[in-house]
Structure 1
Amino acid sequence: MPLPAAPLLRRFSIVALLALACCGNASAQWLKGSRGSAAPASITTPHVQAELVAHAPEGVVAGGQFQAGLRITHQPHWHTYWLNPGDSGLATQLAWSLPDGLAAGPVAWPLPQRIPVGPLANYGYENTVLLPVTVQVAPGFAAAPGQTSVRLSLHAQWLVCQQECVPEEGDFSLELPMHSATAADGADFAAAQAAQPRALASGLTATVDGNSLKLDGTGLPPALQGRTLELFPETPEITAPAAPLQQRWSGEHWTAEAALAAQRSESPALLPVVIAATDAAGQRQGWRIEMPVAGPWPTAAKPVPVSAALQSALADNAAAAPVAAQAAPMATWLAALGAALLGGLLLNLMPCVFPVLAVKLLGFARHGAAPRQQRIAGLAYASGVVLSFLVLGALVLGLRAAGEQLGWGFQLQSPVVVAALAALFTVLGLNLAGVFEFGMWAPRGLAGMALRHPAADAFLSGVLAVAIASPCTAPFMGASLGLALGLPTAQALPVFAALGLGMALPYLGAAWVPAVARLLPRPGAWMDMFRRLMAFPMFATVAWLVWVLGQQSGIDGAGALLLLLVAGSACLWALALRGRARAWLGGATALLLIGLLTAVGPRAVSALPPQQAAADAAARWQPWSEDKVRSLLAEGRPVFVDFTASWCVTCQVNERSTLADDGVLQALDGKRVALLRADWTRQDPAITRALRALGRSGVPVYVLHAPGRPPQVLTELLSRDEVKAALAALPAR
């Protein structure tokens, strides 16, 4: 007796979960918090979390003082810089905007560490550092009537580096109660104070001797005596940070020699330095000393300014960097939840979802006469859908925080995932067609497990439905998902959950409302025919996936996948035979499949170089780039951009109907509109950034640019009349 159709989904749970979790590799710089009056107290980038904190145990008292500062928590192996950054880098800069009567002092820099970077060395901070300042309150400071707090505002710029460097900045604000204590971060401020170098008046002097600086003196603290010391000049480009400090002790007398920087910035007569050492307890301690410098300095080389590239990166970052996660107003967030719920409902109509949901329909029909089983299956299916959307959302948000440039539907940008899904749907189609049965290979107890646990089958069918459905959400969810991917996690995940709930809602209704359940057909012989009929939507999905892979890996990649699918199908057929034929024919086809996997498998999942893919574009459409858009607009030409992907069904429908319509093409030509196509079939960080700048996270997206006008974003379900109306609004040429 063949197993019911629904349990086959359970047999492929691992494949479905892997398909759900896979994503292509990407790298990008995701910088700074947005500017505005409602700046947050904390900003998270892929490399750091930066937070404005304060310590005012007595409140804000006239004539008193309190502490404020920027706390930076670095991702592992990333660092920011001290007052003197060393061989490269930039010191973190704090610009305060405080109410009248409040004045922020300089940064009380904690003791830095020497960070080797290849042949160079930097001075800076890893892990977590707090950069505190003392805020003085004027004696005559008085609050306005009814005022109970003061707002501290800070604009900070920092350079965060690992092997590469990323300029980042952010605007922060913090409401500080005036008449109550603010002391939650007191321990951090106490630790920062303990980490500050202590002032020391000693007999230490410095003498310039050729290209080295010789240090000599006594009177250093007992904690330093006899230990290997570290030297951190506060003035940049005086000594060479990467050069070892030659030093020795003779009783309490310490001498050292430091190499001068090849491109020295100054020739000071008084040099402030920080000297540090690790004590017997393993704690680093530092002292700040101002040393008089004797002897003539050698002629200094012309100082080298901060690189133009770095300054340009800072400027570009300030103007156009993606916005860090910021909380949305309640009304905006509720609108996004409503749009997500509606989008999930409409998602059930998408063709890429239908094959999996058709199998689910068989499960509903099987339990048509058992209301309890129906309800359990409906809840399990809804749980699988909602949980899967939450997992996908958490994965995208997590990768966003780690620096990945991703958008929704990202899993189908990976040829490996596309090939795996094509294989999965081929196997499901063969099973539905009756070529083989899963139960013939499984132990008898395992074969009956699905019948004993139908909820597991329903749950996994929801997981598989989401794995395939997520790329189809963009037509209904473009704006909402674009907003969700820029929200904090606490606001973003409910949007994903609402999308899943909307998708599962019709099936929950069918499971829990008897009137709906009675509309479902009763089990009977028709189910076997319907099951075999459902094999063809599965195979149609395979054909679509092979076509998608052809866009990613070329015609050779698609051919290799087809060959593997045929060999795999033959292997399944042979293993379904009886007797001795099953042993020798099944073994032969299995060996053939293994050989083909080794020989042509890598070709099936190897992406084409971007330039080769671009060469395949239609002659009317040119490959998109930001520079090309700017260049065409500078010439006075309007530009129409089609953000698309081969795996996006809606994109292909729009391109073969609206964008291929003769009337639309004539209207485009009449306005001399340049046509650019941004192909997102493979991961492309530049396209991802452009989509994010438009407030979108998936495709399709259609944008009409015109000189002197803001970009006009058209609807995802593009119509001929909409395009013609947008073109008609352009000035005549």
Structure 2
Amino acid sequence: MLLLALGAAAQAQGLAKPVVTTERVRAELLAHAPEGVAPGKPVWLGLQIAHQPEWHTYWKNPGDSGLPTQLEWKLPAGLLAGEIQWPVPVKIPIGTLANYGYEGTVLLPVPLEVAPDFKPSPLAQEIDVRLKASWLVCRKECIPEEGEFAIKLPIRGSTAGHAQAFEAAFAAQPRPVITTRGEYIPNSTAQVADGALDIRVQGLPVSARGKKLEFFPETPEVIETAGAWTQEWKGAVWTARVPLSAQRSASPDVMPVVVAAGREGWRAELKVAGTWPKAAAPATVSPALEQALRNNAANTAAPAKPGIGLLAALAGALLGGLILNLMPCVFPVLAIKMVGFASHSGDMRARRVSGLAYTAGVVLSFLALGGVMLALRAAGEQLGWGFQLQSPLVIAALAALFTLIALNLSGVFGFGALLPSSVASMEMKHPISNAFLSGVLAVAIASPCTAPFMGASLGLAVTLPAVQALAVFACLGLGMALPYLAASLVPAAARWLPRPGAWMDVFRKLMAFPMFATVAWLVWVLGQQSGIDGAGALLALLVAMSLLVWTLTLRGRARVALSGIAALGLAALAWAAVPELVQPPAPSQQAARADTGWQPWSQAKVEQYVAAGQPVFVDFTAAWCVTCQYNKKTTLADRQVIDGLKRHNVALLRADWTRRDPAITAALSSLGRSGVPVYVFYKKGSPPVVLSEVLGVEEVLSVVSQL
């Protein structure tokens, strides 16, 4: 488990830098402190986003779809980051909808408050500023992106190198409407009447009078963003009639708005008079579903929680762990149990000890995985169940380990021939360590998939206090180990086992092939994560490692010479191959393996289809989840299911969680789940319908018939 924990930690720690570049944007963390960092002095930070042509990100109210950019700061004690000072947005029409956002280059400035008692170390010359940012960038499609940024801000010197960019951002911010005497006017109004807002804004500058203005409410989901609205100047007062949204989700008494002429804007707070009409139930997206859009769910409203208590979660975890033994994802590791059980077929005491050791390995492994996941989530990482297999390096390490196990079972080498005599003798004196480690390996491979009753329990576990959450993980491990534990403790089980003999050697070698099958599966998983070049690099490493192991079984000078050459070759190959392992597959390879009829998932697509009245079916899946692949090849490939989905015009979206994706993690969390597989139907005006983990044809057709 140390290997898995280290792999997860390495995966979670990105290399923070001032600039993050993707195919769609260039994002840079900027600072502006012309008088240094001291109480009462102006200090500004900001994220500058330069968009590729036709791409855009979103304002604080994104409009009909989208998400505003989220900023999470990590600052030294005594420093506090304020809210984003949003520049005036532009309206971005999308068919019959409209969004509010930014194109080209935009800087989102944030004021930095320095506490009066801020006293850095006398030796400190600068402070570390770190930022974790997430944004949704859209063209016709939408891509959730994120980045981790870091800069060093001089304490006493001036940081004014980006003064021009900040001055432009300040100039683009909306100014409060004022009277001719320079007083702020709070009495601009909005009257609710006949399904619309009649708006009056006073105090706009003379330069704006007579111009056609754009209208941007800061409160989302109140007006028809792309609706037909009228405006008129009545002397110095700007008036407009704006239709209310049929899916209005707010009824504010005071409604802050921005009116703009081009990139110049003014902010007013409208006092709302009249009686709001009864708001319709949201039909486009529920609050829990909207949260799934957010890359950093930690700073948003709490996700929907499953409606079960702790005792039900513990029972569900125990039952789910028990059923996990019947799931396809456990089949590759059954050989580990069977070899250990057969080796103690004639010794009741040894079998009992082995069963207890195996149970300890399973339970402690589940606790370790759960503890690492909870710790990383508490640190702000969006991780879910099965996170260890989202790292290509962990996949490669497991493939190497299972190759060694297979070579050992097949008789190519014995661990006693490779290990120092003292270690080998210790292994012989303490064979229960093998049973313990077999439990660890079983969890490493089998845990990523979720069995029935596991999903809700795991979803609740990540929201519970640490002690209660770990109790859920412990019950999950106990349930998985229970059949083997019971068989090892019940004397009657011995009658079902053949007596020790020569068959055990044949059986041991036979069990090497499920291990090789597990390696083949792991190579395939890595191919999904890193492409054909990554899979080829891993295969080359496994061949080189096997050669090295074989040379170590030789005797005399041949062993020294050949093993030295093999070790150097393996080291050189690893140096060249590791970069291939961690690279994502080329776009052409991703397109080549796309399933006909299925589209890549994004929350924006879910919103767009549902808003248009088209039902959506989402398959939350991963290449390392064998249950997911089983469902894909059976139920989801069934002709009745395919025809039913087509007949009801269901949009098919596939959320691939093979590599870590915070947006998918947040979407799962909003559904009360923490792992895959998860299958969900979305329909306008209805809550999401979550199906069972082991998908059945009748279950899918039953839901489809109600669409």
TM-score (normalizing by structure 2)? 0.61
Task: Please give the alpha-carbon distance, in whole angstroms, between the structure 1 residues aligned to 2:662 and 2:459.
Answer: 15
Please tell me whether residue 163 in structure 1 is matched to residue 131 in structure 2: yes
Task: Please give the alpha-carbon distance, in whole angstroms, between the structure 1 residues aligned to 2:648 and 2:631.
Answer: 21
Please tell me whether residue 637 in structure 1 is matched to residue 628 in structure 2: no
Cα separation, partners in 2 of 1:647 and 1:332, compared to 1, 3 Å: same
Give 1:433 deviation, angstroms. 0.8
Please tell me whether residue 364 in structure 1 is matched to residue 341 in structure 2: yes
Please tell me whether residue 122 in structure 1 is matched to residue 90 in structure 2: no
- Residue type of the partner of 1:429? A
Q: Please, which moves more after superposition, 395-404 or 559-568? A: 559-568
Please tell me whether residue 77 in structure 1 is matched to residue 75 in structure 2: yes
Cα separation, partners in 2 of 1:78 and 1:654, compared to 1, 3 Å: farther
Please give the secondary structure, in 1, of the residue aligned with 2:447: helix
1:98 aligns to what? none
1:523 aligns to what? 500
Q: State whether residues 24 and 411 of structure 1, in contact with CA within 8 Å, keep that contact through their aligned partners in structure 2.
A: no
Task: Please give the alpha-carbon distance, in whole angstroms, between the structure 1 residues aligned to 2:220 and 2:130.
Answer: 20
Please give the secondary structure, in 1, of the residue aligned with 2:701: helix
1:689 aligns to what? 666
Give 1:605 deviation, angstroms. 2.8
Q: State whether residues 365 and 522 of structure 1, in contact with CA within 8 Å, keep that contact through their aligned partners in structure 2.
A: no
Give 1:531 deviation, angstroms. 0.8
Match of 2:534 among 547, 553, 557: 557
- Residue type of the partner of 1:122? E
Task: Please give the alpha-carbon distance, in whole angstroms, between the structure 2 residues aligned to 1:558 and 1:126.
Answer: 56
1:293 aligns to what? none
Please give the secondary structure, in 1, of the residue aligned with 2:619: strand
Q: State whether residues 551 and 562 of structure 2, in contact with CA within 8 Å, keep that contact through their aligned partners in structure 1.
A: yes
2:604 aligns to what? 627
Show structure 2 runs of 5+ residues with no match.
Answer: 16-71, 87-107, 119-128, 136-157, 161-169, 183-207, 209-215, 222-249, 251-284, 292-296
Q: State whether residues 704 and 713 of structure 1, in contact with CA within 8 Å, keep that contact through their aligned partners in structure 2.
A: yes
CA displacement 1:335-378 (0-9 Å, x = unmatched):
11111111111222334434444233333333334333332222
Cα separation, partners in 2 of 1:538 and 1:165, compared to 1, 3 Å: closer
- Residue type of the partner of 2:322? L
Q: State whether residues 419 and 605 of structure 1, in contact with CA within 8 Å, keep that contact through their aligned partners in structure 2.
A: no
Cα separation, partners in 2 of 1:717 and 1:118, compared to 1, 3 Å: closer
After TM superposition, list the pairs within 5 Å mapping 1:265-280 onto structure 2: none
Task: Please give the alpha-carbon distance, in whole angstroms, between the structure 2 residues aligned to 1:618 and 1:647.
Answer: 17
1:591 aligns to what? 568
Cα separation, partners in 2 of 1:87 and 1:460, compared to 1, 3 Å: closer
CA displacement 1:543-597 (0-9 Å, x = unmatched):
1111111111011111111111112112212222233332222222222222211
Please give the secondary structure, in 2, of the residue aligned with 1:678: strand
Task: Please give the alpha-carbon distance, in whole angstroms, between the structure 2 residues aligned to 1:88 and 1:706.
Answer: 34
Please give the secondary structure, in 1, of the residue aligned with 2:652: strand
Q: State whether residues 85 and 109 of structure 2, in contact with CA within 8 Å, keep that contact through their aligned partners in structure 1.
A: no
Task: Please give the alpha-carbon distance, in whole angstroms, between the structure 2 residues aligned to 1:86 and 1:344.
Answer: 46
Give 1:22 deviation, angstroms. 6.9
Q: State whether residues 388 and 463 of structure 1, in contact with CA within 8 Å, keep that contact through their aligned partners in structure 2.
A: yes
Task: Please give the alpha-carbon distance, in whole angstroms, between the structure 2 residues aligned to 1:595 and 1:165.
Answer: 38
Match of 2:372 among 395, 401, 411: 395
Q: Please, which moves more after superposition, 554-563 or 593-602? A: 593-602
Q: State whether residues 119 and 242 of structure 1, in contact with CA within 8 Å, keep that contact through their aligned partners in structure 2.
A: no
Please give the secondary structure, in 2, of the residue aligned with 1:531: helix
2:146 aligns to what? none
Task: Please give the alpha-carbon distance, in whole angstroms, between the structure 2 residues aligned to 1:165 and 1:640.
Answer: 29
- Residue type of the partner of 1:380? A
CA displacement 1:414-444 (0-9 Å, x = unmatched):
1111111111111111111111111112222
Give 1:456 deviation, angstroms. 2.3
Cα separation, partners in 2 of 1:17 and 1:629, compared to 1, 3 Å: closer
Name the larger-Rg structure: 1
- Residue type of the partner of 1:450? E
Match of 1:703 among 667, 677, 680: 680
- Residue type of the partner of 2:113? N
2:311 aligns to what? 334
Give 1:78 deviation, angstroms. 6.4
2:327 aligns to what? 350
Q: State whether residues 648 and 704 of structure 2, in contact with CA within 8 Å, keep that contact through their aligned partners in structure 1.
A: yes
1:406 aligns to what? 383
1:433 aligns to what? 410
After TM superposition, list the pairs within 5 Å mapping 1:40-79 onto structure 2: 77=75
Give 1:623 deviation, angstroms. 0.8
Task: Please give the alpha-carbon distance, in whole angstroms, between the structure 1 residues aligned to 2:83 and 2:458.
Answer: 43
- Alignment root-mean-square deviation, CA: 4.2
After TM superposition, list the pairs within 5 Å mapping 1:472-483 onto structure 2: 472-483=449-460
Q: State whether residues 317 and 454 of structure 2, in contact with CA within 8 Å, keep that contact through their aligned partners in structure 1.
A: yes
Please give the secondary structure, in 1, of the residue aligned with 2:693: coil
Q: State whether residues 74 and 130 of structure 2, in contact with CA within 8 Å, keep that contact through their aligned partners in structure 1.
A: no
1:463 aligns to what? 440
Q: Please, which moves more after superposition, 439-448 or 540-549? A: 439-448
Task: Please give the alpha-carbon distance, in whole angstroms, between the structure 2 residues aligned to 1:522 and 1:584.
Answer: 44
2:463 aligns to what? 486
1:646 aligns to what? 623
Match of 1:661 among 633, 638, 659: 638
Give 1:309 deviation, angstroms. 12
Give 1:126 deviation, angstroms. 11
- Residue type of the partner of 2:682? H
Task: Please give the alpha-carbon distance, in whole angstroms, between the structure 2 residues aligned to 1:639 and 1:473.
Answer: 23
Q: Percent identity?
A: 58
Task: Please give the alpha-carbon distance, in whole angstroms, between the structure 2 residues aligned to 1:675 and 1:352.
Answer: 24
CA displacement 1:80-121 (0-9 Å, x = unmatched):
988xx779789xxxxxxxxxxxxxxxxxxxxxxxxxx99964
Task: Please give the alpha-carbon distance, in whole angstroms, between the structure 2 residues aligned to 1:720 and 1:126.
Answer: 66
- Residue type of the partner of 2:505? D
Please give the secondary structure, in 2, of the residue aligned with 1:593: helix
Q: State whether residues 531 and 589 of structure 2, in contact with CA within 8 Å, keep that contact through their aligned partners in structure 1.
A: no
1:544 aligns to what? 521
Q: State whether residues 642 and 703 of structure 1, in contact with CA within 8 Å, keep that contact through their aligned partners in structure 2.
A: yes
Cα separation, partners in 2 of 1:392 and 1:340, compared to 1, 3 Å: same
Task: Please give the alpha-carbon distance, in whole angstroms, between the structure 2 residues aligned to 1:309 and 1:583.
Answer: 76
Please give the secondary structure, in 2, of the residue aligned with 1:471: coil
Cα separation, partners in 2 of 1:118 and 1:618, compared to 1, 3 Å: closer
Task: Please give the alpha-carbon distance, in whole angstroms, between the structure 2 residues aligned to 1:576 and 1:522.
Answer: 31
CA displacement 1:359-411 (0-9 Å, x = unmatched):
33333333334333332222222111111111111111111111011110111
Please tell me whether residue 712 in structure 1 is matched to residue 692 in structure 2: no
Give 1:685 deviation, angstroms. 1.0
Q: State whether residues 547 and 566 of structure 2, in contact with CA within 8 Å, keep that contact through their aligned partners in structure 1.
A: yes
1:205 aligns to what? none
- Residue type of the partner of 2:443? V
Task: Please give the alpha-carbon distance, in whole angstroms, between the structure 2 residues aligned to 1:426 and 1:455.
Answer: 22
Cα separation, partners in 2 of 1:333 and 1:506, compared to 1, 3 Å: same
- Residue type of the partner of 2:131? Q
Q: State whether residues 305 and 672 of structure 2, in contact with CA within 8 Å, keep that contact through their aligned partners in structure 1.
A: no
1:445 aligns to what? 422
Task: Please give the alpha-carbon distance, in whole angstroms, between the structure 2 residues aligned to 1:600 and 1:685.
Answer: 27
Q: State whether residues 621 and 654 of structure 2, in contact with CA within 8 Å, keep that contact through their aligned partners in structure 1.
A: yes
CA displacement 1:169-197 (0-9 Å, x = unmatched):
xxxxxxxxxxxxxxxxxxxxxxxxxxxxx
Q: State whether residues 385 and 448 of structure 2, in contact with CA within 8 Å, keep that contact through their aligned partners in structure 1.
A: yes
CA displacement 1:428-481 (0-9 Å, x = unmatched):
111111111111122222212112112322222211211111112355512211
